[in-house]
Amino acid sequence: MQWYFVAALLTVLTSSQGILTTLSQSNGGYKYDYATVPFLAEAFKLAVSSFLLWREIRANPSTRMTTDWRSVRLYPIPSIIYLIHNNVQFATLTYLDTSTYQIMGNLKIVTTGILFRLFLRRKLSNLQWIAIVLLAVGTTTSQVKGCGEASCQSLFSAPIQGYMLGILSACMSALAGVYTEFLMKKNNDSLYWQNVQLYTFGVIFNMARLLLDDFQRSFEKGPWWQRLFDGYTITTWMVVLNLGSTGLLVSWLMKYADNIVKVYSTSMAMLLTMVLSIYLFNFKPTLQLFLGIIICMMSLHMYFAPPSMLVDYPPNGKAAPENLKEITIERKSDS
């Protein structure tokens, strides 16, 4: 399977994620406990990965699976990072309005590139660095509203704590992605075995979160497992399947592509969601949206296109060696 096919599929699924979540609402709210959705998505990913691992072992009994505890103990770390990231997100929203928070979130594009270079030792060309910055600029441009609106005035009026937490949130998001890529590529273990380890801890951490919510509410609605499917509709199940399928595609990209491909997929998905919202939710397109799309398309071409398509090389590139040879001959005749 080619990485660009997986990336395109991830873009489509991620763009439909927000739309499905909006459609699952009833009278502006959720009739189901939204905290159960990530838990069921993790359980879905674990079940699919376990089945695919079973099939792989049947077809190839020598499937590589590292069971040493020194390797297994590394797999809870992404779940811990995401848990901290979620708490930082809530703290950030206490200082920033939603528009400013979304714009600050685009910093994770640049921080992913930086951590990608520092921790994974992956070298990027100057053109690719410019492309990553352009992607952040493009997504930010698409989210900025008209300068005459009140939300534009509040962009730089939030407390300094909000901006610091926004930067921390972007770094935590990038760190989780880069560390997951490190895990997936650190050995030649089966992708499905690695997924089983990741999602087992994902299920455990999400279960712990549901239990903690029950303790905080003094079990007034009963234990979480008794109301797990309360309020679920077909649309809600589509949200769960979408979230789970997206996670499986991301793990494939982490194993066989890299974080930058994932960043481009999710960024393009955000723009696709805006375009689809024009037809589904009567969203009014803005000049900033069209400018953002153009900038992101330029960034996409600049990052993935071969250098020969971006830079014009001199047609007489072989002239220099011939000149050097002539000079060498002249020196020999003089001696």
Q: Indicate the pLDDT class of residue 156, thresholds 50, 70 and 90.
A: low
Segment 1-31, tens digit of pLDDT: 688 899 999 999 998 988 898 888 887 788 8
pTM of the model: 0.85
Q: Indicate the pLDDT class of residue 319, thresholds 50, 70 and 90.
A: very low
More confident residue, 314 or 55: 55
Determine the Cα–Cα distance for residues 101 and 155; give it in Å rounded to an integer.
9
Give which of 246, 273, 291, 268 is closest to 109, Cα–Cα: 268
Residue 188 · residue 79 · CB < 8 Å = no
Residue 148 above 60 pLDDT? no
Determine the Cα–Cα distance for residues 188 and 302; give it in Å rounded to an integer.
31
> DSSP 3-state assignment of 186?
coil
